[in-house]
Amino acid sequence: MLLTQKQIENFKTQLLSMREEVLQRNKNREENLDIDQVRGNENHMGNAGTAEYEHAREMTLSQNDEQLIDEINEALQRIEEGTFGICVDTGKEISIERLEAVPYAKRTIEAQKEYDQQKNPVDESLNNKREDNSQMIDLIEKEHE
């Protein structure tokens, strides 16, 4: 089922709103970082570690937001190109349910799972180590019985 023009317009409105929210959130975060830097935390050594942690946390959140903005912009571009709702990998339609949950989705659920597996392959040695650890735990428990 292809998306209707009304559905596409609704997604466009939703994406533009999402983008504005993320941009505003980033602006607020940057302003808060600037205020914290002006205040300074040099008065107490314990504050330095907290400030460093907070700065790293805020940077990570900013990077995640930047990636989200890129995803939203790509979805808006697909709307303009007339390819919104079509999987970039398979050419199949993305379900309306998926688009309602993730309006900037560019892959079907199946294609996204495959993409994620290729991007982050499961390391079999990790699974083996878990099994080794469980065997070690069993041995230790038997020794203490």
User: pTM score, two decimals?
Assistant: 0.69
DSSP 51-103: HHHHHHHHHHHHHHHHHHHHHHHHHHHHHHHT-TTB-TTT-PBPPHHHHHH-T
CATH superfamily of the domain spanning 5-107: DksA, coiled-coil domain (1.20.120.910)
Q: Where are the domains of the chain?
A: 5-107, 108-145
Which residues of the chain fall below pLDDT 70? 1, 33-49, 51, 122-145
At 78-107, the pLDDT tens digits run 999 999 999 999 999 999 999 999 999 999
Predicted pLDDT at 126:
54
Cβ atoms within 10 Å of 111's Cβ, excluding its own: 18
Q: What is the pLDDT of residue 144?
A: 59
pLDDT at res. 53: 77
Place of tokens 């302003």: 31
